[in-house]
Structure 1
Amino acid sequence: MTQTYEQINPTHITIGDNVRLDPRLDTDFVASIRERGVLEPVLLYRDGDGTLTVLVGQRRTLAARAAGRDTIPALVSDTPPADTDRLVDQYVENEHRAPLTNSERITAIEQMALAGLSDHQIAKRTATPKATVQAAKAAAQAPALREYADQLTLDQAAALTEFDDDPDAVEALLAAAATGRFDHLAQRLRDDRAESAHRAEFAAVLTDQSLTVIDDPGYGDTTPIRRLSRLTDDDGTDLTPDTHAQCPGHAAYITTAWRTPTTDDQEPADDVDDQDDNQDGDEDESWPQQVQVLVAGYVCTDFAAHGHHDRYASTNASPSGTKRVADMTDTEREAATAARRNVIESNKAWKAATQVRRTWITTFAQRKTAPTGAEAYLARVLIGGHGHETASHEALTLAGFPGRDDTTSWTAASEQRAAAADATGTASPKRALQIGLAVAVAMWEERTHPNTWRNPSSHDLDTLARLKDWGYPTSDLEDRMLTSPDEDPTD
């Protein structure tokens, strides 16, 4: 048997029988052939009448046809193989061809970037999505973590590098990847870091104002520390931050409160005894106009020694009318502490999940066809009255119809609604259904608020369950909402 190297027009090649029944010509593969051509010669044989038939390289040949290549390299044998040899060779060639691992992709893309290729050039020349190129380059920034890349997606490997200075976070993220909750934990870790940095900045603002900053004193009466909202002077006059400023025990702790945005959310606010991390934002339509900001809570570090009086010391109730911590049994105190901690943690978990969910919805909105159950869900939305509202600027943006930033949200929303309507008019029936579904889901998402996890409506639970069915990786908190919808998560 002799072989010759030739350049052959792929349309002149007969495919013949092949163990690969479906060539699976994905768009990235065809794009690669269009950009770079066939780099590895296909194996052909020429029979007595001159017909060229593929032995090895069916996908490359078909992709070259689809890409419009004029010629491809080929090694041409003058002797047809035995059927057994052909089948064995095709099986081995397909079965044992291994794709690049993520660590290999990261290394290769890093080397291409170091050689001077831009993200766009790498993406075009390798037929790789630009987002994948960028994720690989980001993952390359932490060589010590590259060993974990093959356990993760490239996006996850890139996210892991954000925490390369925190071994505990890396370990937790690797474990979360195995359970499908990597994105939720990564977002929570980002939120915690941002909050820690924000609190440090705010503490510096308070310190610059000559305030002593202490840890949150909690709600117990077992220490000499008291919030100013509980204290009076000898005449029974309430103490305020201004009237208490000269007391040696004057101090502040950092907490949060819901506020309508102002020009400077870093300014210390009035005493906020009852507004802390375990408090909720408003549930009504006005909530989107409020944000959670850092504020100062004022205390006296030794109220009795400085001549102040606790107005609630002689009662069995706290300012909110509940039983004082000092009057609780150990069991009650532990339960109250656990409940408060659960609320704080759940608030943070819901905040992180909201970001992950909205990112997922943005991608979900681009699907070409609606998932199973879309029609029934939309019917329930309409029957329940949830689809009678006009879609907002924020919801339409989330659904894939971004509006102009140089106009009012009302004008932008009007233009976005027109764009969405036009899209349904030109789309296939399946895509039109998906557009309607995406807008309905985005409208629900835009109306969620910090208290949704605590008091979910039937529509909240229905939508969350459908998102899970359609591929959204729910967080632990969201799963608890779905599995115990009739229980108060704070209990």
Structure 2
Amino acid sequence: MTTTIAAQSTPSATGYTLVDADPNELNITANVRTGVDITAAPEFIASITELGVRQAVLAVRRADGTLAVHDGQRRVLAAREAGLASIPVMVRDQTTDERAAGIERITEQINLNDQREGLTKGQHAAGVAELRDLGLSVQKVATALHVPKSYVEKAGRAGRSERARQQLDDRQLTLEGAAILADLEDAAQAEPWITNAIEKIFENRYGFEYRLATLQRKLDERADTRVAAADHIARGFTLLHDEPSTSEGEWFSLADLRTADGSAVPADAPEQAPHLWHVHVHETGAIWVDKATREQVAEDDIDFDTEGDDDAEAYDELRHANTVEKVPAWSYEFFLHHDNRAAAGLELAPERIAAVGDASDDDAQDGLTPAQRKAARAEAERIEDERAERRKVKALNRAGATATEARRTFLTGLLSRKDVPKNATKWIVTVLATHGDVFTESKCGERYADIMGSPLREAAQKADSATVARAEVLLLARVLTAFEARLTGPQDAKDYWRFSSKHYRGMVGIDRYLTFLADSGHTLTPVEQAAIGNITVDDAYAAVDDDA
């Protein structure tokens, strides 16, 4: 449709021409501000009705003659409500480069709207995502919109998702959480189970962001195991991300099976028919490897005093620390699904038959004596308990790592304040009277630097130039980061959920630390609740496993 133009002036030096145009014929669909309800602004409509549009709308003329509004969406909508036949519009021709035109439109709309009523967070993120889709780099978007690169990176991800944008506008998620949600929705296109996991998270009434981050961590772990299992997958094995239970008769380990003649199944049997077998890969710790050859190196053979110093000479026959790196150690276990057992030509071991049989049936056809049958069932129970414990530890450690990230983000915000929370000074005096040794914790200085963004050695200088209130914040930072070091230990451990006795790894005082954070606005996660004995470890596991 061609817009009717009642009057036209001479083009200005900027390339714009002032025209009178029918507001009903202006195109406002291509606008970063969405869902505008102009009827919610009756005073604005009344003003437009009485005085008309006093500030010209900005628009570009497309190749088909239509005018696309770049700035003035609310004025156009109000003019339509007021029944105006024409309004002033500054028009320029659209450039031939559609990509450049799109970039120009979005940046102009975002910048102009931010200077006036302002876009919602969701609308702003949608605009950033559109700019990224048009091929602009993070740096160029940041420059065009006058925002940090970190904001562009997250908003560009969050803006792709309608749900993430809505959660942003409803203040249910931060920009970081909205970005994670958008990433998970993208991943769900290839793995539909993720959609169900997301829905379960939002069925809860709290902790959306923490649970989304934990789910994202689970996906990251799965990606790592896919890399670790790449050779096996290439040979035809199917990867099992979660360790299966062998107590229900659906999955069997090598020990559960026998060959046709009753012999133990050879360890290399899965390699002979990989298409029939599944492999489960799980991390068992860490090892040191040579950076060049990738061969394993014994930790005792490394001179760690040379770390970070290429010119240093390793002691005696030890290895220079810079020639090695720590990598995950992986364990591989093979399982056969019951649907594949016949094709594999394998039978159940007598002990396996005994384990799944009726515990009161002493005449079971397994060829075992009652004592052997009892022992077989006990052994099967022990193995299943071990598998269940590994699943629990894995889930809780994953949740513990996510909780640590969230807690340290909260600490960074808390300690950026100009003054301390109420009763903070009283808490400091009380807790140090009992736990003054907290400043001797390993990694104490590192935790301070991580959270405060500056080395501990600069704290005194900062205090000298700070106000009294800010100096109290610096003191609080010293205490809180020391307790954070005690909570996660020298290895930045994820398993601080283990003992509510508060003496695991000497974790005395942790209950007071986490309780203070909760009183200051931090929502304790299930693993943190378990660490201080507010809930049991099993309750924490039930909470974090439910999301999975």
- Which bin holds the TM-score, normalised by the shorter protein? 0.5 to 0.7
Kept after mapping to 1: 8 A contact 2:496/2:531:
no
2:161 corresponds to: 142
5 Å-filtered alignment, 1:207-218, equals 207-208=233-234, 216-218=243-245
| The one of 379, 383, 389 aligned to 1:324 | 379
**Structure-2 change in CA distance of 1:224 and 1:143 (3 Å):** closer
Distance 1:118 1:394 in 2: 34
Kept after mapping to 1: 8 A contact 2:126/2:165:
no
| The one of 384, 400, 403 aligned to 2:452 | 400
1:161 corresponds to: 182
SS of the aligned residue for 1:296 comes to: strand
Structure having the higher helix fraction is: 2
2:208 corresponds to: 182
| The one of 202, 206, 222 aligned to 2:228 | 202
SS of the aligned residue for 1:386 comes to: helix
- Does 2:497 align with 1:453? yes
Q: Structure 2: which 5+ runs fail to align?
A: 1-115, 189-194, 297-324, 356-367, 503-507, 543-548
1:117-153 deviation per Cα after TM superposition (whole angstroms, max 9, x unaligned): 7424533xxxx77765665444333357545542235
Distance 2:257 2:484 in 1: 40
Distance 2:399 2:329 in 1: 17
5 Å-filtered alignment, 1:288-367, equals 293-298=329-334, 305=346, 314=372, 316=374, 323-325=378-380, 342-367=392-417
Distance 1:370 1:479 in 2: 24
Query: 1:188: how far off?
Result: 1.0
Letter of the structure 2 residue corresponding to residue 468 of structure 1: A
TM-score normalised by L of structure 1: 0.54
SS of the aligned residue for 1:363 comes to: helix
Distance 2:526 2:481 in 1: 22
Kept after mapping to 2: 8 A contact 1:135/1:154:
no
Letter of the structure 2 residue corresponding to residue 324 of structure 1: E
| The one of 251, 254, 260 aligned to 2:281 | 254
1:478 corresponds to: 528
Query: 1:354: how far off?
Result: 1.8
Name the Cα RMSD after superposition: 5.1
SS of the aligned residue for 2:440 comes to: coil
Letter of the structure 2 residue corresponding to residue 396 of structure 1: Y
- Does 2:177 align with 1:122? no
| The one of 366, 370, 374 aligned to 2:424 | 374
Q: Structure 1: which 5+ runs fail to align?
A: 1-96, 270-288, 403-415
| The one of 471, 484, 503 aligned to 1:432 | 471
Kept after mapping to 1: 8 A contact 2:167/2:178:
yes
1:55-95 deviation per Cα after TM superposition (whole angstroms, max 9, x unaligned): xxxxxxxxxxxxxxxxxxxxxxxxxxxxxxxxxxxxxxxxx
SS of the aligned residue for 1:467 comes to: helix
Aligned positions, number: 345
**211-220 vs 162-171, which deviates more?**
211-220
1:66 corresponds to: none
Query: 1:395: how far off?
Result: 0.9
Distance 1:144 1:222 in 2: 41
5 Å-filtered alignment, 1:95-110, equals 100-106=119-125
Kept after mapping to 1: 8 A contact 2:256/2:348:
no
1:193-228 deviation per Cα after TM superposition (whole angstroms, max 9, x unaligned): 112222222232223467675673435495783456
**Structure-2 change in CA distance of 1:439 and 1:399 (3 Å):** farther
2:96 corresponds to: none
Kept after mapping to 2: 8 A contact 1:255/1:294:
yes
SS of the aligned residue for 2:285 comes to: strand
Letter of the structure 2 residue corresponding to residue 191 of structure 1: R
Distance 2:219 2:295 in 1: 21
SS of the aligned residue for 1:372 comes to: coil
- Does 2:441 align with 1:389? yes
Kept after mapping to 2: 8 A contact 1:396/1:417:
yes
- Does 2:462 align with 1:418? no
Kept after mapping to 1: 8 A contact 2:280/2:332:
yes
Letter of the structure 2 residue corresponding to residue 194 of structure 1: D
1:468 corresponds to: 518
Query: 1:357: how far off?
Result: 1.6
Kindly, what percent of the aligned residue pairs are identical?
20
Distance 1:230 1:441 in 2: 54
**Structure-2 change in CA distance of 1:361 and 1:205 (3 Å):** farther
1:192 corresponds to: 218
1:62 corresponds to: none
SS of the aligned residue for 2:452 comes to: coil
Distance 1:213 1:244 in 2: 13
**Structure-2 change in CA distance of 1:182 and 1:251 (3 Å):** closer
1:265-307 deviation per Cα after TM superposition (whole angstroms, max 9, x unaligned): xx999xxxxxxxxxxxxxxxxxxx9886542125688799589
Query: 1:434: how far off?
Result: 1.8
Kept after mapping to 1: 8 A contact 2:214/2:402:
yes
Distance 1:140 1:341 in 2: 35
**470-479 vs 133-142, which deviates more?**
133-142
1:285 corresponds to: none
**Structure-2 change in CA distance of 1:213 and 1:390 (3 Å):** closer
Kept after mapping to 1: 8 A contact 2:289/2:295:
no
**Structure-2 change in CA distance of 1:242 and 1:421 (3 Å):** farther
Q: Comparing both chains, which one has the higher relative contact order based on Cα–Cα distances under 8 Å and sequence gaps of 6 or more?
A: 1
Distance 2:126 2:284 in 1: 47
1:42 corresponds to: none
**242-251 vs 133-142, which deviates more?**
242-251
Distance 1:381 1:110 in 2: 49
